[in-house]
Structures are given as C-alpha cells and as structure tokens.
Structure 1
C-alpha cells in the first residue's frame, strides 16, 4: 500500500475525515512529527501525496522553532518536483513561504464557522463542492496569520475577514487557509488544546463553538469529503 505523508505539528490536528477517503483509495497514512522527527532525512518526492497540517505557530517563526527551516526546504523540494501537495492552515502558510510569498500576522483572529466566497477559478475547482453545499460554503476557520499569493498561484477563495483563503499552484498543489477536514467530536480535542487562545478571544466560547460544530458538521463534512475526493482524482490519486 502506498503511503501518504502527513506532516503534523500538534497531535490533535490530523487528517480527520480525510483519512478514511485515502484508505478507501488504497492509500495508507504515515504521520511525521514535524517538530521532532528528522525532516532532512525524509524523501520529499517519493510519497504519492504530501499533506502539511495545521498548528498554533507562525510560518515565519523559525528563530523560535528551528525545525521550520527543514520543513520549508522539504515543502519547496516537493513543490518544485510538481508532486501532489496539500496544505491546511499553517500548512498553507508554509507552502506560500516555500514559494517565496510573505506570511505575516493578520489584523484579527478568525476562529469559528463562517462561509467562503469562491472566485471564478474556485468555482471551477473541486472547492465548488464546498461552495455549493447545504451550508452555503461554511467551513471552520482557526488562524490569525495570512499570506500574500505566491507568484504563479491561482486565487480560489476568500472570506469576510481575509482575502486569501485558498490557492492552487501548478497542476497538483493546493493550499487551504481554512479547515475542510475537521468537525464533530474530534474538535473537542481542539477546544482543550486551544483553550488559552479561545479564552483570550473576545466574544468566543467553547459553548458557542460546540453549538456551531453540531449545527454545521453534517453538511460541512459531506461537502469536505466530496471536495477532497474530487481533488484527489484531479491529481491522479
């Protein structure tokens, strides 16, 4: 069985609902601890898919987190080889940096369930399954940083708070600022892991996040799975 490589920064931000879709397609998953594993020793090109997952640090903080240097080199090598690559949240920011774009703190944290607005290119992409869902494009947002579009990238989506929410690059690289993979009871781990961030955000509470999660999970999960399946097919997986 071929193995997808997933770079994970915190244990509770994993592939979630996406993992079962990979399994159905005969793809196993190998999680790499980006923080402590030897990233320089990893073959960046061989795996059929690289997924770079989320995390609560900045893509520009390699002075505090030196592993980011090796991770950026791994991602750049993968992208330059035109191999299928998906970045989610921090992963999208790292992809942007690896492609030479600026990543920086945004004006406000975007945490919770809110809709996307797809560009014309986004409506032609697999993201259309999210934009046309019963939840009208609602997804989970959990970030405070943003990025400029890399040279050659195709802008796919924005939100009310952030212009750059998704981009594609080349034929097989996709970066998502938002989370299309997460929902349901799995987010209870997020509510604990990000407790300090939730508590510091005015007007945000675990109770409100939990209520919205229960409301949106069924339709959002279905849309996210349809999107991911269509994207895997588009890159030959």
Structure 2
C-alpha cells in the first residue's frame, strides 16, 4: 500500500480539500483508497459525509493501539474509498502518546498491521501543525504532498516544513520524499498570486505540480453537503483542476514504487 501524507503546518491552505478530492479521483480510477483523518477537527471526515455517530472507532483508537486499521476504516459514499475518521479525542493524543516509547511510530506500526492488498493507496490528512501527529504521518508515509496557498506568508511556512521533512528523513524515514507541492487558492486577478507561484517554481522546480487549484466557490460549498467537490459539482473549475492534479500525481507514483 502506497502511503502519502498531505501536510502543511499552516491552516487554511486547502489541505483537507486536496486530500479528499485526490482520494475521490483515485477511487474513481479504480484505486482502492484509504484516507486517515489525523486532524482533531475531523474536517476530512465531515467533508466525506461521516456523521459523529459513525465515528465509534477513529484514528485516536488506531494510534493508541486499541483497534486495527480494518476495524477503524468505514466506507464512504464514494465507491472504493474508505476512511479512518477523527474525533476531538485526537486532540489529547499528543499528550497521551508521550507515555509510549514508540510514540512517533504508532501510525507506522498500525499501517504495517493492515491486511495486504486491502487498499492500494493511503492518504493521511495531517493537522495544521508540526506536532506529534504530523510526525507520525511523515514517519509512516513514503512521500508527501504539500498544498501551498498562493500568498506571501505561505512561503515562510514552507521552508519550516521542508526543514522538518529533511530531519525526519535523516533520523526516522530515509524513504520519505516530496511527491509534489500543489499550489492552491490561485487567483489570476491577483498579481501577488503569480509572484508567489513564480517564486515557488524557481526554488523547487519540477517538485511543484503543473496543475494549480483555483479559488472556487463550489470547492468551499461541497464540504457542507458532506461530499467531495468532484461529486458535488464535477464540472466546476475546482473539480477539473483536482482531476488534472490526480493525473499528475498518478504519473509520479511509479517512481515511489521503484524506490520502495
């Protein structure tokens, strides 16, 4: 099972929107897909229509070792897409995990125990921080997708994230690589947007995906209906962009398989 973390310590950059729509696109193309919601806010779970009453076994129990992935995963309305949902209990996990010697490897251990062949790919939606939950995701993952909002302050957060990734690679997970940086909330009417995009591409080069995700009202509306934008309105500009981004991502996946 390919494992990809979707992370950025800055909030409001389209991280969860990216995770659920990429997962939906993957499932639509035949990939048996799993999302692990590691954000205590549970936005990925809500955005896929998972009610609180359905979250009896969540990523909190998974990290504690109280249940396995197969027990916690529940099907979504999207065929071939399952999710390990999140609850507010997860907000206390960082404190509780301190007691465990393998506290940074809890998710890696849980995913290693998953039945072979049950899922083809796993996307891990991380919280907007570089705490223990995100570190668990980076250690468990083979690669990383970084949604990056096209604004000035996002660049500062990116450098901090890249430093953290390098440290994780050196100390815990030599296989960790950056699959790509996805530019989100792109507004061509704003000159700063183009400037940020140019700066990021100049620094990171081909690591940045060609596809950019535009600011789009339908992308914002979809979670309130408990649906990915690709199902809520597959014809909108945001959905079209995520379909294109998924194609780019799939094209890069064979490289991960060869390195694994």
Structure 1 length-normalised TM? 0.42
Higher helix share: 2
Q: Which has the higher contact order (CA 8 A, sep 6+)?
A: 2
